Amino acid sequence: PCQSSPCGSLGKCIATNQAQIPYYCQCSDGQNTMFKCADPNPCLPNPCGPGECEITTNLLNGYICRCFDGTIQMTNCSVPTNPCITMPCGAQGRCLALEAAPKGYMCMCQVDGVSYTTIDTCPTTSSFCTHMTCKNGGICVPFSSDEPSCSIDQIGSTCCQCPPNFTGLRCEQEVDFCSSNPCKDNGRCLSEKSGYRCQ
pLDDT tens figures, 153-186: 444 566 777 777 788 877 888 888 888 888 888 8
pLDDT tens figures, 119-164: 777 776 545 555 557 788 887 776 655 555 554 444 456 677 777 7
pTM for this model (two decimals): 0.32
Looking at the structure of the chain, the number of domains it has is 4
- The residues near 167 (Cβ < 8 Å, ≥ 6 apart) are 173, 175
Inside any domain, residue 110: yes
166-197 burial, b at 16+ Cβ within 10 Å, e below that, comes to bbbbbbeeebebbeeeeeeeeeebeeeeeebe
Inside any domain, residue 96: yes
Q: Average pLDDT in the 13-34 region?
A: 85
Indicate the length of the chain as a whole number: 199
* Owning domain of residue 71: 51-81
Q: What is the pLDDT of residue 153?
A: 45
Q: How far apart are CA 100 and CA 130, in angstroms?
A: 31
Inside any domain, residue 38: no
